[in-house]
Amino acid sequence: ETEITWWHAMGGDLGETVNEIAAGFNASQDEYKITPVFKGSYEETLTSGIAAFRAGEQPNILQVFDAGSATVIGAKGATVPVQDLLSENGVDFNIEDYISGVRYFYADNAGKMIGMPFNSSSPIMYFNEQALEAAGVEAPVTYEEFETVTAPALKAAGYVPLVQSHLPWEFAENFFSRHNLPFATNDNGYDGSEGTKILVNTDEFKMHWTHVKQWLDDGYFGFYGTGWNDNQAQFEQGKVGLWIGSSGSFGGLMKKDLPFDFSATNLPFWSSITEEGYQTFIGGASLFAMSGKSAEENKATAEFFRYLTSPEVQYMWHRETGYVPITTAAYEMAKADGHYDRFPAAETGIKQLMLTSGENTKGYRMGFYVQIRDVENREFSRILSGETTVDDAMATIEKEGNELLARFAKTQG
Amino acid sequence: MKRAGFSTKWLPILLLLPQLLIIAIFFYWPALHAVTSSFYLQDPFGFGQTFVGLENYTHLTSSVEYLKVAKFTVLFTVLVTFFSLALALLFAVKADKVLRGAKTYRTLLMWVYAVAPPVAGFIGLLMFNQTWGPLSDLFKFFGWDFTLGVNYFDTAFAMIVVSVWKQVPVNFIFFLSGLQSIPRSVREAALLDNRSGTRRFWDITFPLLAPTGFFLLITNITYSLFDTFGVIDTLNKGEPGNNPMTLVYKVFVDGFRGNDLGGSSAQSVILMILVLALTVFQFRLIERRIHYT
Amino acid sequence: MAQVSLDSVRKIYPNGAEAVTPSSFHIEDGEFVVLVGPSGCGKSTLLRMIAGLEDITEGTLSIGERIVNDVDPADRDIAMVFQNYALYPHMSVRKNIAYGLKNRKTPKDVIDAKVAEAAAMLNLNDYLDRKPSQLSGGQRQRVAMGRAIVRDPALFLFDEPLSNLDAKLRNQMRIEIKALQRRLGVTSIYVTHDQVEAMTMADRIIVLNGGRIEQIGTPSEIYHNPASTFVASFMGAPPMNLVAGELSEGILSFAGLDVPMTVDHRGPVTLGLRPEDLFIDAKGPIAMEVDLVEELGAHRLLHGRVEGQQLTVHLAKEIAAKTGPLRLSCDPSHLCLFHPDTGKRMDVRHKATPQARSNTTVESKA
Amino acid sequence: MAQVSLDSVRKIYPNGAEAVTPSSFHIEDGEFVVLVGPSGCGKSTLLRMIAGLEDITEGTLSIGERIVNDVDPADRDIAMVFQNYALYPHMSVRKNIAYGLKNRKTPKDVIDAKVAEAAAMLNLNDYLDRKPSQLSGGQRQRVAMGRAIVRDPALFLFDEPLSNLDAKLRNQMRIEIKALQRRLGVTSIYVTHDQVEAMTMADRIIVLNGGRIEQIGTPSEIYHNPASTFVASFMGAPPMNLVAGELSEGILSFAGLDVPMTVDHRGPVTLGLRPEDLFIDAKGPIAMEVDLVEELGAHRLLHGRVEGQQLTVHLAKEIAAKTGPLRLSCDPSHLCLFHPDTGKRMDVRHKATPQARSNTTVESKA
Amino acid sequence: MTDISAHAHAIAQTRKRTWFKLETVFDHAILILGSLLMLLPLLIMLQTVTTPDLETMKLGPTFTIGTELDDNFRKAMFEASGFSGQNTGMNMLKNSMILGLGFALGKIVIGMMAAYAIVYFRLRFATLAFWLIFTTLLLPLEVRILPSYEIVQQLGMMNTYQGLIIPLIASATATFFFRQFFRSVPEELIEAARIDGAGPIKFFIDILVPLSQTMIAAMFIIMFVYGWNQYLWPTMITTDENMYTLVRGIKQIVQTLEGNNIPEFGRANMLALIAILPPVLVVIFFQSWFVKGLTESDK
Ligand SMILES: Nc1ncnc2c1ncn2[C@@H]1O[C@H](COP(=O)(O)OP(=O)(O)OP(=O)(O)O)[C@@H](O)[C@H]1O
Ligand SMILES: Nc1ncnc2c1ncn2[C@@H]1O[C@H](COP(=O)(O)OP(=O)(O)OP(=O)(O)O)[C@@H](O)[C@H]1O
Ligand SMILES: O=P(O)(O)OC[C@H](O)CO
Ligand SMILES: [Mg+2]
Ligand SMILES: [Mg+2]
In angstroms, rounded to a whole number, what is the distance separating the alpha carbons of residues A136 and A131?
8
In angstroms, rounded to a whole number, what is the distance separating the alpha carbons of residues C217 and C206?
7
Are residues E120 and E138 both part of a single domain?
Answer: yes
In angstroms, rounded to a whole number, what is the distance separating the alpha carbons of residues A282 and A256?
25
Q: Return the pLDDT at C255.
A: 84
Residue A153 in contact with residue A135, Cβ under 8 Å? yes
- Whether E253 shows a pLDDT value over 70: the answer reads no
Are residues E82 and E67 both part of a single domain?
Answer: no
Q: Point out the residue among A7, A39, A54 whose CB comes nearest to the CB of E150.
A: A54
Residue D211 Cα to ligand 2 midpoint, Å, equals 9
Cα distances (angstroms) measured from residue B244 to each of A77, B69, B240, B259: 37, 7, 7, 20
Q: Return the pLDDT at A361.
A: 92
Q: C15 CB under 6 A from ligand 1?
A: yes
The 8-class DSSP code of residue A145 comes to H
Cα distances (angstroms) measured from residue B192 to each of B196, C32, C99, D91, E162: 10, 21, 10, 45, 60
Cα dihedral A152, A156, A162, A163 sign: positive
Which CATH number do you get for residue B88? 1.10.3720.10
Which residues on chain D are in Cβ contact (under 8 Å) with E193?
88, 99
Are residues E143 and E22 both part of a single domain?
Answer: no
Kindly report, residue by residue over A121-155, the tens digit of the pLDDT: 999 999 999 999 999 999 999 999 999 999 999 99
Tell me the β-bridge partners of C316: C299
In angstroms, rounded to a whole number, what is the distance separating the alpha carbons of residues D292 and C177?
12
Q: How far is B98 from chain E (nearest CA, A)?
A: 7
In angstroms, rounded to a whole number, what is the distance separating the alpha carbons of residues B286 and B274?
18
B7 domain-assigned: no
Residue E258 Cα to ligand 5 midpoint, Å, equals 70
Higher pLDDT, D205 or B2: D205
The mean predicted confidence, pLDDT, of chain E is 80
Are residues E144 and E228 both part of a single domain?
Answer: yes
Average pLDDT over residues C281-289: 90
- From E32, E57, E73, give the residue that closes a domain: E73
Q: How far is C133 from chain B (nearest CA, A)?
A: 6
CB-CB neighbours of A374 under 10 Å:
26
Residue D138 Cα to ligand 1 midpoint, Å, equals 21
Domain boundaries, chain C: 4-229, 239-351
In angstroms, rounded to a whole number, what is the distance separating the alpha carbons of residues C323 and E199?
45
B199/C100 Cβ within 8 A = no
A51/E153 Cβ within 8 A = yes
In angstroms, rounded to a whole number, what is the distance separating the alpha carbons of residues A32 and D188?
85
Through-space distance between the first and last CA atoms of chain B, rounded to whole angstroms: 22
Q: How far is A73 from chain E (nearest CA, A)?
A: 22
Per DSSP, helices labelled H in A136-257 are: 143-145, 151-156, 167-168, 174-178, 185-188, 203-218, 230-236, 250-255
Tell me which residue of C280, C209, C275, C207 sits closest to C238, measured CA to CA: C275
- Whether E16 shows a pLDDT value over 90: the answer reads no
Residue C44 Cα to ligand 1 midpoint, Å, equals 7
- Whether C333 shows a pLDDT value over 70: the answer reads yes
Kindly report, residue by residue over D5-51, the tens digit of the pLDDT: 999 999 999 888 899 999 999 999 999 999 998 888 999 999 999 99
Q: What H or E segment, with its residue span, contains residue D129?
A: none
Residue A82 identity: V
The 8-class DSSP code of residue C188 comes to E
Q: Which chains touch A (3 or more CB pairs under 8 A)?
A: B, E
Q: How confident is the model at residue A157 (pLDDT cuts 50, 70, 90)?
A: very high
Which CATH number do you get for residue E168? 1.10.3720.10
Which residues on chain C are in Cβ contact (under 8 Å) with E17?
55
Determine the residue of chain A that is closest to B233 in CA distance: A227
Instruction: List, in order, residues 6 or more apart from D361 with CB less than 8 Å away.
Output: D216, D217
Tell me the β-bridge partners of D316: D299
- Overall pTM surpassing 0.90 (yes/no): no
CATH code of the domain made up of D4-229: 3.40.50.300
ipTM: 0.82
Which residues on chain E are in Cβ contact (under 8 Å) with B99?
8-9, 12, 15
B2 domain-assigned: no
Q: Return the pLDDT at C358.
A: 39
Residue B96 Cα to ligand 1 midpoint, Å, equals 21
Residue A7 Cα to ligand 3 midpoint, Å, equals 16
Residue E110 in contact with residue E174, Cβ under 8 Å? yes
Are residues E143 and E172 both part of a single domain?
Answer: yes
Q: Return the pLDDT at E18.
A: 47
C53 alpha carbon, closest ligand:
1
Residue A372 in contact with residue A366, Cβ under 8 Å? yes
Q: How confident is the model at residue D52 (pLDDT cuts 50, 70, 90)?
A: very high
Q: Buried b / exposed e across C311-332, counting CB within 10 Å, b at 16+?
A: bbbbbebeeebeeeebebbbeb
Q: C88 CB under 6 A from ligand 1?
A: no
In angstroms, rounded to a whole number, what is the distance separating the alpha carbons of residues A170 and D168?
91
In angstroms, rounded to a whole number, what is the distance separating the alpha carbons of residues A8 and A118?
11
Least confident of A141-145, D42-46, E24-28, E63-67: E63-67
Q: Return the pLDDT at C350.
A: 66
Pairing mode, if any, of strands D155-159 and D187-192? parallel
In angstroms, rounded to a whole number, what is the distance separating the alpha carbons of residues E133 and E121?
16
Least confident of D66-75, D157-166, E244-253: E244-253
Q: Does domain D239-351 have CATH number 2.40.50.140?
A: yes
In angstroms, rounded to a whole number, what is the distance separating the alpha carbons of residues D168 and C207?
16
CB-CB neighbours of D290 under 10 Å:
18
Which residues on chain E are in Cβ contact (under 8 Å) with B1?
118-123, 126
Residue D16 Cα to ligand 2 midpoint, Å, equals 12
Q: Return the pLDDT at A380.
A: 96
Query: In percent, how much of chain E has pLDDT > 90?
Result: 20
Q: Which atom of ligand 1 is nearest to the CA of C193?
A: 25
B292/C131 Cβ within 8 A = yes
Q: Return the pLDDT at E258.
A: 55
- From E73, E97, E118, give the residue that closes a domain: E73
Query: In percent, how much of chain D has pLDDT > 90?
Result: 53
| Total number of domains constituting chain B | 1
DSSP letter for each residue of B25-39: IIIIHHHHHHHHHTT
Query: In percent, how much of chain A has pLDDT > 90?
Result: 73
Instruction: List, in order, residues 6 or more apart from B111 with CB less than 8 Å away.
Output: B169, E38, E280, E283, E284
Tell me the β-bridge partners of C253: C246, C258
At D96 the three-state DSSP class reads helix
- Whether E256 shows a pLDDT value over 90: the answer reads no
Kindly report, residue by residue over D210-258, the tens digit of the pLDDT: 999 999 999 989 999 999 999 998 888 788 999 999 988 888 888 888 8
Q: Return the pLDDT at A226.
A: 87
By residue range, what is the domain housing residue B194? 19-289
Cα distances (angstroms) measured from residue E181 to each of B252, E104, E213: 36, 17, 11
Q: Is D17 touching C (CB cutoff 8 A)? A: no
A11/E258 Cβ within 8 A = yes
Cα dihedral C140, C145, C151, C154 sign: positive
- From E23, E54, E73, give the residue that closes a domain: E73
| Total number of domains constituting chain E | 2
Tell me the backbone φ, ψ of residue D262, rounded to 5 degrees. -100, 110
Q: How far is C50 from chain E (nearest CA, A)?
A: 12
The 8-class DSSP code of residue E204 comes to I
Which residues on chain B are in Cβ contact (under 8 Å) with E295?
173-174, 177-178
Q: Which chains touch D (3 or more CB pairs under 8 A)?
A: B, C, E
Determine the residue of chain E that is closest to C54 in CA distance: E14
Are residues E248 and E223 both part of a single domain?
Answer: yes
- Whether A183 shows a pLDDT value over 60: the answer reads yes
Q: Return the pLDDT at D58.
A: 94
In angstroms, rounded to a whole number, what is the distance separating the alpha carbons of residues A79 and A289?
5
DSSP letter for each residue of B198-210: HHHIIIIIHHHHH
Least confident of A59-73, A181-195, D83-97, D321-335: D321-335
Average pLDDT over residues E223-238: 86
Are residues E139 and E155 both part of a single domain?
Answer: yes
Kindly report, residue by residue over E74-123, the tens digit of the pLDDT: 877 777 666 666 678 888 899 999 999 999 999 999 999 999 998 898 87
The angle at the Cα of E178, spanning E174 to E181, to the nearest 5 degrees, equals 145
Q: A63 CB under 6 A from ligand 3?
A: no
In angstroms, rounded to a whole number, what is the distance separating the alpha carbons of residues C311 and C287?
11
Kindly report, residue by residue over C76-109, the tens digit of the pLDDT: 999 999 988 899 988 999 999 999 888 888 899 9
Contacts 24+ apart (CB under 8 A), A397-402: A397/A198, A397/A200, A397/A201, A397/A372, A398/A197, A398/A198, A398/A199, A398/A200, A398/A201, A400/A372, A400/A375, A400/B63, A400/B65, A401/A198, A401/A200, A401/A366, A401/A372, A401/A375, A401/A376, A402/A197, A402/A198
Cα dihedral C273, C277, C280, C281 sign: negative
Q: Return the pLDDT at E9.
A: 44
At B61 the three-state DSSP class reads helix
The angle at the Cα of E93, spanning E92 to E96, to the nearest 5 degrees, equals 85
Gyration radius of chain E's alpha carbons: 24
Q: How far is E127 from chain B (nearest CA, A)?
A: 10
Q: Point out the residue among A76, A385, A404 whose CB comes nearest to the CB of B242.
A: A385
Q: E10 CB under 6 A from ligand 1?
A: yes
Q: Return the pLDDT at E89.
A: 83
Average pLDDT over residues E238-252: 79
Residue A63 in contact with residue A40, Cβ under 8 Å? no
DSSP letter for each residue of C193-230: S-HHHHHHH-SEEEEEETTEEEEEE-HHHHHHS-SBHH
Q: Return the pLDDT at E262.
A: 61
B3 alpha carbon, closest ligand:
2
CB within 5 A of ion ligand 5: which residues? D 44
Write the residue with the smallest CA distance to atom 25 of ligand 1. Answer: C39
Tell me the backbone φ, ψ of residue C42, rounded to 5 degrees. 105, 10
By residue range, what is the domain housing residue E234? 77-296
The angle at the Cα of D329, spanning D325 to D333, to the nearest 5 degrees, equals 155
Are residues E184 and E122 both part of a single domain?
Answer: yes
